[in-house]
């Protein structure tokens, strides 16, 4: 029997998406003087997608599963979904029609190819993130820029690794780092929803979402909004406690062999004050590295 939770996620996403599209945006002439919904009605969306109103209603209510990819594509087109939103809709629609297998998650280990790249990029701040945004590895600059107050060595211990999504919502230092915290928070939640749709059987991911829902009313509100956003590239203004204000571009590179893992880099345009701040941070980063134990000379 298919998991009812998956059907509920599909319905909630569809409702949220159609609430954001007005009849005028969709090229329809509104009928009736009283509208109880802010966006499209079910029958209006069904008309745009070329399906019967009763079928669409059953789909949204979780009573009809196994919708064909063609139907899901038609609904996505009618809702004018972005590429990331369309991908998420297909994922949650597929999950609503299958039985979920709840297996204990295997510990994540950083892709060796990403670790090589992390070492090769020198003083560019960077970190390797796992599926659930756990920090699997970071270079000295990545640690100093984004989380210098956290234990750098904790990435080596599964279960104790810093989680960047959790840090954004529950860690005061991380929150203070982003000048426009709401923008960063929305991006993090939008990406997490995309990941959750692609991995509905991940109990550790579900646990993270539940934990954040309980710990942060802001996360709870953003999660309920059903927004989906792929984190590829974005500029953020940072208020760094040691080198001051700077603007960096965060870019995400995905592993080919382990597509759940990403390398996130932070760069600044050459010749700018932000680039100068990153250059200053190099000295801070390497001062924070543990000092090697002194070698004892053997006497003959």
Q: Comparing C-alpha atoms, which of 208, 133, 190, 131 is closest to residue 163?
A: 133
**Domain at 4-96, CATH from 3.40.1360.10, 3.40.50.150, 1.10.260.40, 3.30.1360.120:** 1.10.260.40
128: three-class secondary structure by DSSP: strand
Eight-class DSSP state of 83: H
Report the largest interatomic distance among the alpha carbons of the chain, rounded to a whole angstrom: 99
Query: For position 300, what pLDDT does the model report?
Result: 42
Span between the terminal Cα atoms of the chain, in Å = 76
Mean pLDDT of all residues in the chain?
87
**Does residue 154 register a pLDDT over 90?**
no
Query: For position 198, what pLDDT does the model report?
Result: 87
Q: What digits encode the pLDDT tens for the residues 68-96?
A: 889 999 999 999 999 989 999 998 888 87
Structure tokens at 43: 């029958």
Q: How much of the chain, in percent, has pLDDT values that exceed 70?
A: 88
Residue range 219-244: mean pLDDT, rounded:
91
**Going by C-beta distance under 8 Å and a sequence separation of 6 or more, which residues neighbour residue 258?**
111, 114
- Cα within 13 Å of Cα(282), Cβ side: 9
Between 67 and 291, whose confidence is greater? 67
The CATH code belonging to domain 112-287 is 3.30.450.180
**Does residue 22 register a pLDDT over 50?**
yes
Residues 275, 248 contacting (CB under 8 angstroms): no
d(CA 126, CA 233): 14
pLDDT class of 233 with cuts at 50, 70, 90: confident
Start and end residues for every CATH 1.10.260.40 domain found in the chain: 4-96
**Phi and psi for 244 in degrees, rounded to 5?**
85, -160
271: three-class secondary structure by DSSP: coil
Residues 136, 183 contacting (CB under 8 angstroms): no
**Does residue 157 register a pLDDT over 50?**
yes
Structure tokens at 178: 């982003």
pLDDT class of 2 with cuts at 50, 70, 90: very low
Q: What digits encode the pLDDT tens for the residues 128-144?
A: 999 999 999 999 999 99
């Amino acid at each position: 029997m298919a998991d009812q939770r998956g059907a509920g996620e599909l319905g909630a996403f569809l409702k949220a998406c159609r609430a954001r599209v007005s009849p005028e945006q969709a090229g329809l002439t509104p009928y009736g003087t009283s509208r109880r919904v802010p966006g499209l009605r079910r029958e209006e969306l069904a008309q745009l997608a070329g399906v019967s109103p009763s079928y669409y209603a059953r789909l949204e209510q979780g009573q009809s599963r196994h919708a064909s990819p063609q139907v899901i594509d038609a609904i996505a087109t009618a809702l004018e979904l972005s590429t990331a939103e369309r991908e998420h809709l297909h994922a949650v629609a597929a999950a609503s029609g299958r039985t979920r297998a709840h297996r204990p998650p295997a510990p994540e280990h950083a892709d060796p190819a990403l670790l090589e790249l992390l070492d090769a990029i020198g003083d560019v701040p960077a970190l390797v993130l796992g599926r659930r945004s756990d920090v699997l590895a970071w270079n000295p600059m990545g640690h100093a820029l984004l989380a210098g107050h956290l234990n750098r060595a904790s990435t080596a211990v599964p279960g104790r690794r810093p989680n960047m999504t959790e840090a954004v919502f529950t860690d005061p230092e991380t929150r203070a780092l982003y000048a426009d915290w709401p923008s960063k928070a929305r991006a993090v939640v939008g990406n997490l929803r995309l990941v959750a749709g692609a991995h509905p059987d991940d109990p550790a991911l579900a646990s993270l979402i539940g934990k954040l829902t309980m710990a942060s009313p802001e996360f709870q509100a953003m999660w309920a909004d059903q927004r989906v956003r792929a984190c590829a590239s974005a500029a953020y203004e940072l208020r760094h406690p040691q080198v001051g204000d700077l603007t960096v571009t965060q870019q995400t590179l995905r592993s080919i062999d382990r597509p759940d893992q990403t390398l996130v880099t932070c760069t600044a345009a050459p010749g700018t004050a932000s680039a100068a701040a990153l250059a200053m941070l190099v000295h801070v980063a390497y001062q924070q590295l543990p000092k090697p134990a002194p070698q004892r000379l053997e006497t003959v």
